[in-house]
Amino acid sequence: MNAAGASLLSALGLCLVSALAGATAPRRVRPLLAGLGTACAGAAAAAAGVAALAGQSWSAWLPGVLPLAGARLALDPLGGMFVAVTGAVAVCAAVYGIGYAKHGVDGRVTQATLPLFLGAMLLVPVAASVSTLLVAWELMAVTSLLLVLAEHARRPAVAEAGLWYAVMTHLGFAAIVAGMAGFAAGAAGESFEQLRAATLSPAVRDAVFVATLAGFASKAGIVPLHVWLARAHPEAPSPVSALMSAAMVNMGVYGIVRVGLDLLRGGPSWWWLVVLAMGALSALFGILQAAVASDLKRLLGYSTTENMGLVLIGVGAAGFFASCGDKELAGLALVAALLHVVNHAGFKTLLFLAAGSVLRATGTRDLDALGGLRGRMPYTTALFAVGALAASALPPGNGFVSEWLLLQSLIHALPTSGVAGAVTMPPAVGVIALSAGLAIATFVKAFGVGFLARARTPAAGRAAESPPTMICGMALAAACCVALALAPAAVLPALSHLVAVLLPGHEAVGGVVTLRLADVQGTMSPLLIAAALAVAAALLLGSVRLVARRARRPARLWDCGAGPMTPRMEYTATSFAEPLQRVFDNVLAPESDLAVTPTKESAYLVESIHYRARIPDRIERRLYDPVLAAAASIGRGATRLANGSIHRYLAYGFYALTGVLLVLAVVW
Amino acid sequence: MSDSVYMPLLDLACGAFLLAGVLVLWRRDLAAIVRLFALQGAALAALVIVLAAHEGSAGLAAAGVAVGGLRAGLLPHLMRRALVAGGEGQESRPLVNVATSLLVAAVLAMVAYDASQPLVRLTPTPATQAVPVALTVLLVGFFVLVTRRRALSQVVGFLLMDNAITATAFLTAGGVPLVVELGVSLDVLLAVLVLQVLTLRMRAAFGGTDLDELRELRD
């Protein structure tokens, strides 16, 4: 066995050991033992993934583990990338979780389930047969559901979020089962090698792709299957939110790439245009909802939908270019998409962990009730700033690098991809640009309103900095973000290599300090850009010092003579987003109601005014509510069948049995 | 055992088994129903012992004795105790009257005969030929469960179904593995004990054991 296999197996073993520790250790040391074990498992998994990316491959067949088929595992570069990302996220979240656990999530079930969740997420990308994949997928869904429900006793919203998640994830699972079972039925067997060798009719291929796309897209939180994400991710404990939002959603992308590009070896261009359209819709819708959200974790959840949308734009473009025969551009788009998966995992881990730190310190996620955290939580503030910069896709951040690569691949599409490309690629470019702009507004809001200015509530004013383990977890994630921002060349060759294996061709991106695109005109140097920005900032500060030579003198801020300014005068998250909400009024369809109560004496004198504004998820309102209402009315109608008489219930069974026997007697 | 002895004995046991099941529909006296059930248990035991004698299997004979002890001895005894404690001697008004019930039983017998033909065709031995009998008793038991009001009649209906399932197992496969048989018997015993307690409680709460009184307890 080589290093990749050994570290993967030790990671899985460590997951089991940590789960055991979480289930049996006394409460005092439980978070420490389980957290350390999970962190070690994550590190081992990251090592295995890196080894796989470097070219080591490993596979195993364990006939006794699963009934009938046995478990089939294989670590290839594509799976290795997702294993590495999951492992790295798990290290940060587990270290952070040691400190966070005292915040009410140190119960046995939660502490034992978290390592199992990690193990399931590691198994998904290394599964090499349909049954193994399905078992790992379901294990991942069930363990994450348990973790989402960890705080159900405290907030009723958790149970509702759990219900949404359970239903959506199992509908998605059903779609995946249908698709993969159909695929395996048409192939000689159920191992991925046999699936690759299968020759299916075009109709079956279409059905397999559409079914699996629906299932995997629901896991990735893609519009219109995103409704669970913005509920479940905020309600989970923060380390779990980070794992779900930075690692679990990636499995959806993995599934689409694995099935669409690897097992089905690409397909007609409409498949990929559908993927691209879903991605574009998610990117826009997600970031718009994030821009107007005032719940910090809900904002981050919608931002996940946006980023997964961007990734799917890349995946869809890659598939589309490949179907047009342009392997080079396809490689570039896929590299950009995978790099964005890595980058998003980095900054979303950081942001969710920092949001959890704020939640722990203030007890609220409502941006309108925060503010003034810069002085009281300096480390968390600085680390959130790093994450916000990365998520805004601005130059020194890591999000910029992948979005730039993505734009490059789309912009250069015109000459080769025909009419379909000429029609679809410019809007896709527009969507990326618009979502980048809205992302900047979103994260300026999240950082500016949440952390700067003055505290809007006493709870925010009493906030205290988080314990060192939590800061350490966040700092690890921040270090990854900075490294990815300054030296993307550390991961790009590996990604280019893996893409070159997947879509046969040569490596799409090269260069160390300056990134050079192999097949299209384009160079960019993140390091030089960052250096130039640093020099410019230093020059600016220096010149201000030079000009303003006088000594500093404290003075009161000009308040128009209206007396001391109160926190009520500050911009809130809602007011900051209000102009955006006006611009996108038709899309967002905000609801507001205004109730004016006059005094008894005169209708012209107002006693109180109640104003409530809500921005519902419009897709949920239009698409899901009618279905739910119909199901509820059918359920109410069906209660007439159940009138409480035991004899009637027994009679239903009797009639059903004799009915079936009669049918058999007649038919047979 | 030669076939000339085996076949009539098998047919006799199966006939007694079927007749006891159908007669449960006829009698409204609860004590008589319990007696019929005990008779059916004895017929089932005899059936198993005949099969054992035919195959020369001591294990199967032991299973037959155990089945007889449970179904002709212990369970009727428990039900009689419940009957004495409950103090109700009659099935008051069945949801379907006795004459119609007997007609329905005839129809069910035909359905069962027709529906079990594929099973019989698999291995047409004398034992398998008797499977329609077991299936009929199953349906009759279910019918008792659906149409009788008293808790004790319901228990008997449930146990008729269980007898029929056991009979099917012995007729088609020479019995199920010992562990399964033990588990099922334990289940049945527990169900009877629970229902006995339930009968007492219902009588204490409502003054009767008419299950339709439970209608108001739904959510």
Concatenate the DSSP letters of all residues of A127-140 into one string. Answer: B-BHHHHHHHHHHH
Compute the distance between CA of residue B204 and CA of residue B196 in angstroms, rounded to an integer: 13
Which helix (H) or strand (E) element contains residue A509?
strand A509-510
CA A118 from centre of chain:
15
Is A404 contained in some domain? yes
Whether the predicted pLDDT of A142 surpasses 90: yes
Interface test with A, best of B25, B108, B131, B142 (most A CBs within 10 A): B142
Distance CA A439, CA B67 (A): 75
Last residue of a domain, one of A537, A567, A586: A537
Q: Which of A408, A142, A114, A102 is nearest to A242 (CA)?
A: A114
**Would you say residue B176 has pLDDT above 80?**
no
Q: Are A25 and A34 in contact (CB under 8 A)?
A: yes
pLDDT of residue A515: 79
Distance (Å, whole) CA A540 – CA A88: 37
d(CA A131, CA A376): 51
Q: What is the pLDDT of residue A2?
A: 85
A588 contacts A292 by C-beta, under 8 angstroms: yes
**Interface residue A656 vs chain B (CB under 8 A):** no
Residue A640 has pLDDT above 90, yes or no: no
Q: Which residue has the higher pLDDT, A429 or A567?
A: A429
Domain match, A441 and A298 both: yes
pLDDT at B219: 47
Rounded Cα distance, A233 and A158, in Å: 10
The set of residues, in sequence order, having a beta carbon less than 8 Å from that of B193 and lying 6+ positions away, is B78
Hey, are the CB atoms on A665 and B217 less than 8 Å from each other? no
Distance, CA of B217 to CA of B205 (rounded, Å) = 12
Phi, psi for A598 (deg, rounded to 5):
-80, 165
Q: At what angle do helices A202-219 and A156-186 cross, to 10 degrees?
A: 160
A318 assigned to some structural domain:
yes
Nearest to B118 among A651, A653, A668 (CB): A668
Q: Domain range spanning residue A637?
A: 621-667
Q: How confident is the model at residue A216 (pLDDT cuts 50, 70, 90)?
A: very high
Question: What is the pLDDT averaged over residues A94-118?
Answer: 88
| Co-location of A366 and A414 in the same domain | yes
Distance CA A45, CA A10 (A): 8
Identify which of A646, A651, A664 has the shortest CB distance to residue B115.
Answer: A664
Is the model more confident about A354 or about B155? Answer: A354
Which residues 6+ apart lie within 8 Å of A587 measured at CB? A288, A618
In the structure encoding, which two tokens stand for residue A6, read together?
């050994």
Nearest Cα residue to B68 out of B94, B47, B51, B99:
B47
How is residue A71 written in tokens? 């478990």
Q: Is the pLDDT of residue A138 over 60?
A: yes
Asked if A654 is an interface residue toward chain B (Cβ–Cβ < 8 A), one would say: yes
Comparing A116-130, A203-217, A427-441, B93-107, the range with the smallest average pLDDT is: B93-107
Q: How far apart are CA A477 and CA A579, in angstroms?
A: 33
Whether residue A429 is predicted with pLDDT greater than 50 in this model: the reply is yes
How many folded domains does chain B comprise? 1
Q: Is residue A9 over pLDDT 70?
A: yes
Domain end position, chosen among A505, A537, A569: A537
Q: Which of A644, A647, A668 sits opposite B218 (nearest CB)?
A: A644
Using the predicted structure, report yes or no on whether residue B206 has a pLDDT greater than 50. yes
Q: Check whether residue A270 and residue A338 sit in a common domain.
A: yes
Same domain for A142 and A282, yes or no, is no
B106 part of contact set with chain A, CB < 8 Å: no
State mean pLDDT over A379-390: 94
**Unique residue bearing structure tokens 């060192």:** A468
In which band, very low, low, confident or very high, does the pLDDT at A286 lie, cut at 50, 70 and 90?
A: very high
Mean pLDDT along residues A25-36: 90
Which of A652, A657, A658, A662 to mutate to probe the B interface, most B CBs <10 Å?
A658
Q: Which two tokens stand for residue A298?
A: 């809900």
Strands A71-75 and A509-510: unpaired
Q: Count the domains in chain A.
A: 3
pLDDT at B217 > cutoff 70: no
ipTM of the complex: 0.84
What pLDDT sits at residue B22? Answer: 92
Nearest to B13 by CA among B56, B70, B72, B97: B72
Torsion A573-A579-A584-A589 (CA) sign: positive
Instruction: Flag whether residue B121 sits within 8 Å of chain A, measured between CB atoms.
Output: no
Question: Considering only CB atoms, which chain A residues are within 8 Å of B111?
Answer: 658, 661-662, 665
Residue of chain B minimizing CA distance to A651:
B146
Residue range A286-297: mean pLDDT, rounded: 92
Q: Point out the residue among A646, A650, A668 whose CB comes nearest to the CB of B214.
A: A646
User: H or E segment at A515?
Assistant: strand A515-517
Which residues in A lie closer than 8 A to residue B101 (C-beta atoms)? none
Residue A581 lies in a domain: no
Answer yes or no: do A293 and A229 share one domain. no
Interval A439-476: pLDDT, tens:
999 999 999 999 998 888 888 888 889 999 999 999 99
Please classify residue A586 by burial: count the beta carbons closer than 10 Å to its beta carbon, then call 0-12 exposed, 13-18 middle and 19+ buried: exposed
- Chain A residues touching B147 at Cβ < 8 A: 647
Residue A457 · residue A369 · CB < 8 Å: yes
Last residue of a domain, one of A498, A517, A537: A537
Cβ count within 10 A of residue A494: 21
A555 touches chain B (CB under 8 A): no
The answer to whether residue B214 scores a pLDDT higher than 70 is: no
Mutation pick from B117, B138, B215 vs chain A, by most beta carbons of A within 10 Å, is: B215
Please identify which residue in the block is written with the tokens 């069974």.
A653
Judge whether A563 lies within some domain.
no
Taking contacts as CB-CB distances below 8 angstroms, the residues of chain B near A646 are 211-212, 214-215
Q: Which of B145, B154, B198, B202 to mutate to test the interface with A (most CBs of A within 10 A)?
A: B145
C-alpha B125: how far from chain center: 23
Whether A33 is in a domain gets the answer: yes
Residue A636 C-alpha, separation from nearest chain B C-alpha, in angstroms: 13
A661/B143 touch (CB, cutoff 8 Å), yes or no: no
The answer as to whether A424 is a domain residue is yes
Across A379-383, A526-530, A597-601, B167-171, the highest mean pLDDT is recorded for A379-383
Residue A384 located in a structural domain: yes
Q: Are A256 and A125 in contact (CB under 8 A)?
A: no
State yes or no: pLDDT of A68 exceeds 80. no
What are the residues whose beta carbons fall under 8 Å from the beta carbon of B127, sequence distance 6 or more?
A: B10, B51, B171, B172
Lookup: tokens for A141: 């869904």
- Angle, CA of B30, B35 and B36, to the nearest 5°: 95
Q: Does residue A207 lie in a domain region?
A: no
Say what the pLDDT of residue A327 is. Answer: 83
Determine the structural domain holding residue B108 and report its residue range: 3-217
* pLDDT tens-digit series, residues A532-554: 999 999 999 999 988 887 777 88
Q: Which of A507, A485, A213, A76 minimizes the C-alpha distance to A334?
A: A507
Instruction: Mark yes or no for CB contact B108/A642 under 8 Å.
Output: no
The residue count for chain B: 219
pLDDT band of A14, cuts 50, 70, 90: very high
Do A38 and A126 lie in one domain? The reply is yes
The verdict on A531 and A462 lying in the same domain is yes
Q: For helices B3-26 and B131-147, what crossing angle results, to 10°? A: 10
User: Are residues B112 and A661, on separate chains, in Cβ contact within 8 Å?
Assistant: yes
In whole angstroms, how large is the CA radius of gyration of chain A? 27
Q: Are B148 and B157 in contact (CB under 8 A)?
A: yes
Q: Are B42 and B20 in contact (CB under 8 A)?
A: no
Mean pLDDT value across residues A633-655 = 86
Distance CA A222, CA A278 (A): 7
Are the Cβ atoms of A654 and B145 closer than 8 angstroms? yes
- Model confidence over A399-428: pLDDT tens digits? 899 999 999 989 887 666 678 888 888 899
Amino acid B1: pLDDT: 66
d(CA A527, CA A509): 16
Question: Considering only alpha carbons, which residue of chain B is nearest residue A648?
Answer: B146
Question: Distance (Å) from the C-alpha of residue B62 to the closest C-alpha of chain A?
Answer: 33
Regarding whether A628 and A507 lie in a shared domain, the answer is no
